[in-house]
Structure 1
Amino acid sequence: MSHARATHLTRRGILAAGGVLGLGAVLAACGDDDAKSGGSDTKATGKASGPWTFKDDRGTTVKLDKVPANIVAFTGVAAALFDYGIPVKGVFGPTKTQDGKPDVQAGDMDITKVKVLGNVWGQFNVEQYAALAPEVLITTTFDSAGTLWYVPEESKDKIAQLAPSVAISAYDRKLDVSLARMLELAKSLGADVASAKVADAKKRFEDASARLRAAAKAKPNIKVMAGSASQDLFYVSGSNLSLDLEYFKALGVNFVEPSEKAKAVGGGWYESLSWENVDKYGADIIMMDDRSSTIQPADITEGTWKKLPAVKAGQVIARSPEPILSYDKCVALVEDLAEALEKAKKVA
C-alpha cells in the first residue's frame, strides 16, 4: 500500500499542467489479452502507400519504406488517431481504470482491441512490444528536450532499438498548434482529413473558441484557477507551458497565475500548496484535473476545499491537462469553459 502511494505521488509530481518529471519508475509488464486493433467511424483514405516520411516536433525525421501499419502509441495519441480512422496495435499509458473501464484518455477506442503494454507511469512491457513487430512508436513530449512521454527511462534504449519514434509536442505551445500537428500526422498515415466528419469537428472547435472568446470578453473580472488534487497537496497551474491554458489565455480567459518563484519547485509548471493553504488564491471558477491519477472534486474531503467560494457556488469544472489531440475531443473542453464563464458569478 505504501509503495502504491509513493508511485501515485511520483505521478502527481508530473501533474498539474502535464509537467515533466524525471522518468524513474520500475519497468513492469501490464497487458491485455487481445492484440487486435480497433476500427473507427472515420475511414482512412487507403491512398497512403509507398515510402513514408514524417518530421516530428523534435526535429527528427522518420523515413520508412512504406506507411506504417503496426503502430504503437501513447494512449491519448492512439485515441486521437482513432478519431481520424488510424488504428494502432498497442498502447501505453492510462488506458483502463481499476474497474476495467476505459480511462478518460482512451477516448472512443475499444480498449479490448489493443494490446496494453503498460497502464500506469513506468510500465512498458518491452517483450510484448517486440512481439507486435512495431514499425513506429508515437507519443507526445512535454519538455524542450523531446523526452518521450510515458516511455520509461530505464527501458528507453531497448524500446528505441525496436522501432523509430515520433513525438508531437504538447509543451509551451497553444492547443490549436498541437491539434494541427496531430492532424498532419494522421494525414500522413492515411487519414481522410478532407472528410465531412473532420471538417465538422474543426468547425465546432472554431465555433467553441469564438464562444469562449466572447464569454471571456464579457466577464473579464472572473478569475479562473487550474487545480489538481492529491492526498497531501493541491497544485495550482500557471497558464504558461500548458497547451490548453495557453490557448484559453490567448482567448482572453483571466487565470490565477502563481509567481515564477512559487512554480520553481514544479519545474515552472505549477505551485504546490498544502490543503491548509488551498485558499491562497481567490478564484471564481476552478478547473480540476480529470486524469485518473488525481483525486476528483467529488472525492475531496478537505474542509478547506469545501469552504472555497467557487466550490460553494458550484463553479467547478473538469480540465484535461493531457487533451486528446483531435478536434472532436477538444470541442467539449472549450465549450465547457465557455459555458462556465457565461454562467459564472463573481464570488471571490
Structure 2
Amino acid sequence: MAWEFTDDRGVTVRSEHRPQRVAAYLRAGAGLADLGVVPVAVFGSGHDGDRPDPAKWGPDAPASVPYLGAAGALDEERLLSERPDLIVDVTYDGKHAYAVDDGAAERAHLPVVALSVAGEVPQARLLERFAELAVALGGRAEEGADRLAAAEERLRSAVLRAPGVRVLALSPAGEERVHLARPLAWPELRRLVDLGVRLTDPGEEGGVNWRTTGWGKAVGLTPDLVLSDARGNAEQPAALAHLPAWRTLTAEAPVLPWNPELPCSRRAVAAFLERLAGALEGLARPA
C-alpha cells in the first residue's frame, strides 16, 4: 500500500511502503517517541553539542537511541548505518528544515518531513500535526490528551487564584546578557497567554523571538516568577548564583525551568503546564 504525507512546507513525501525507520531532530523525535514511534537515531541543531540535550530529548526518551551529532557535524556515515527511510525535522519559516542539512539528506537519498513550530502556529495545531504524523507512521494520536486538558484547567484555576502575577520567560546568555522572550513568538508561551498567564513583553527593541539586553532590563521588569531556559546552550541558575543581578531578580521570584523546544507531544506540554500551575499555586493569595 502506498504511503504519503504532506509536511508544513507543502512537500509531499511518497513511498511504496510506510516508513519503518525514522531518524529525527531531537525535539521531533522525543515527541514521536511519546506517540509510539521510536526513532532509530536522533540528531541535534547548530545549538547542540556532541551529546543529546536532555531538555530536547526529554527525561523519558529511550536511552538506546543513538545520537548522530549536531547540525554541521552530523555523522553521515553513522546515519546511513542506521538505515533510516525517513528524516523528521521541524521548520520555523515554512520553507526549510531546521536542523538537518539539505546536503546531508540529499547525499543519503533520504526524504525529509518538516513540521512547523513557528510562533504563529497555535500550540494545539502543532501537537495535532505531530499526532497526525505519528499515526501515519503507525503510532497513536491521543496519548496525553486527557492529561493535557486537565493540566490546562488546573493552570486556569491557578491563574485565578494568583491574579496579577507577572511571569518573565528568558534565556540567560552569560554574565552580561540575557535573552528576554517575546510571549507571542513561541507557541507554548502564546498558549500560556490564552490560558490567562500574565507574561511580560520585553519591549519592541531587538529580534523577532528575543530581546537581547543587559540583566538590568530583566531586573527592572520585576517579575513574580521567572521561566528560565533549560536547554544546554543556555546558562543555568547554578552558574548564575554569583551574579548580583540574578540574585536580585530571583530574590522573591521563584525560578521554573522552561524549555523553548519542548518535545512535540501532549504529554510533554501537560507536564510543563502542571509544573507552572504548581508554581502559581505557591504564589496564590491566602483564601
Instruction: Tell me the TM-score normalised to structure 2 length.
Output: 0.89
Q: Does 1:167 align with 2:117?
A: no
| 8 Å Cα contact 1:174/1:242 also seen in 2 | no
How far apart are 1:280 and its partner, in Å? 3.0
In the TM superposition, residue 345 of structure 1 has moved relative to its aligned partner by: 6.2
Aligned residues, how many? 278
What does residue range 53-132 of structure 1 map to in structure 2 within 5 Å? Answer: 53-93=4-44, 103-107=54-58, 108-111=60-63, 113-118=64-69, 120-132=70-82
TM-score (norm 1): 0.74
Matches of 2:18 and 2:246, distance apart in 1: 51
1-structure distance, mates of 2:252, 2:67: 40
By how many angstroms is 1:99 displaced? 11
Q: Which moved further from structure 2: 319-328 or 129-138?
A: 129-138
Match of 1:288 among 221, 228, 247: 228
For 1:73 and 1:304, the matched residues in 2 are separated by 38
* C-alpha spacing 1:239/1:102, structure 2 compared with 1 (3 Å): closer
Distance change (3 Å), C-alpha of 1:101 and 1:258: closer
1: CA distance, partners of 2:50 / 2:73: 18
Partner of 1:215: 158
| Identity %, equivalent residues | 27
Alpha-carbon displacement from aligned partner over 1:66-124 (angstroms, at most 9, x marks no partner): 11012110012111111222122211017xx989787222222233x223221x45321
Per the alignment, residue 238 of structure 1 pairs with 182
Give structure 1 stretches of 5+ with no counterpart.
Answer: 1-49
SS at match of 2:269: helix
Note if 1:150 corresponds to 2:99.
yes
Kept in 1, the 8 Å contact 2:94–2:116? The answer is no
Residue in structure 2 matched with residue 177 of structure 1 by the alignment: 125
Q: State the distance in 2 between where 1:185 and 1:116 align.
A: 22
Q: Deviations over 1:275-329 (max 9, x none)?
A: 3443131211110111111111122131111012xx1125111111001111222
Q: Could you tell me whether the CA contact under 8 Å between 1:226 and 1:286 is conserved in 2? A: yes
Q: Partners of 1:336 and 1:56 in 2: how far apart? A: 32
Gaps of 5+ in 2: none
Paired residue type of 1:178 = L
Partner amino acid, structure 1, of 2:214: S
CA contact (8 A) 2:164 2:198 kept: yes
**SS of the counterpart of 1:279?**
helix
Q: Which aligned segments of 4 or more residues in structure 1 are displaced greater than 4 angstroms?
A: 97-102
**Aligned residue type for 1:303:** P
